[in-house]
Amino acid sequence: GAGVSQSPSNKVTEKGKDVELRCDPISGHTALYWYRQSLGQGLEFLIYFQGNSAPDKSGLPSDRFSAERTGGSVSTLTIQRTQQEDSAVYLCASSYRGETQYFGPGTRLLVL
């Protein structure tokens, strides 16, 4: 079956603009995660959705970042008033009931 998909694959924006990144998890997976990887760094956890429970937002770096998951499937990560330090690869992963996380290809965000 299809894996995790993310769109857009690349995004270039100007500082101060808002951006939306989309993630389509593997069908049937109940958990969805957002991570980001800045240049030369490991993956950094941002937010986690599990079923209908309240999301774990403990990794969001500032209140400019938010995410929602509609209908228990597709998720959108929104970054408001983007800054240059937001430039990174944003990765989405999904899992079935908390088992192994499977990653999408990522969205490469560049803030000029």
**Chain residues that interact with other proteins, rule: CB under 8 A:** 4, 31, 33, 35, 40-45, 48, 50, 56, 58-59, 91, 93, 95, 97-106
Q: How far is the CB of 72 from other proteins (least distance, A)?
A: 15
Judged by beta carbon, residue 10 or residue 15, the one nearer other proteins is 10
- Residue 97, both tokens: 């009931």
* List of residues 6+ apart from 110 with CB closer than 8 A: 10, 11, 12, 13, 87
Nearer to other proteins, 22 or 45 (CB): 45
DSSP letter for each residue of 60-73 = --STTEEEEEGGGS
Residue (28 or 98) nearer to other proteins, CB: 98
Smallest distance, other proteins to C-beta of residue 85, A: 18
Q: CA 25 from chain center: how many Å? A: 11
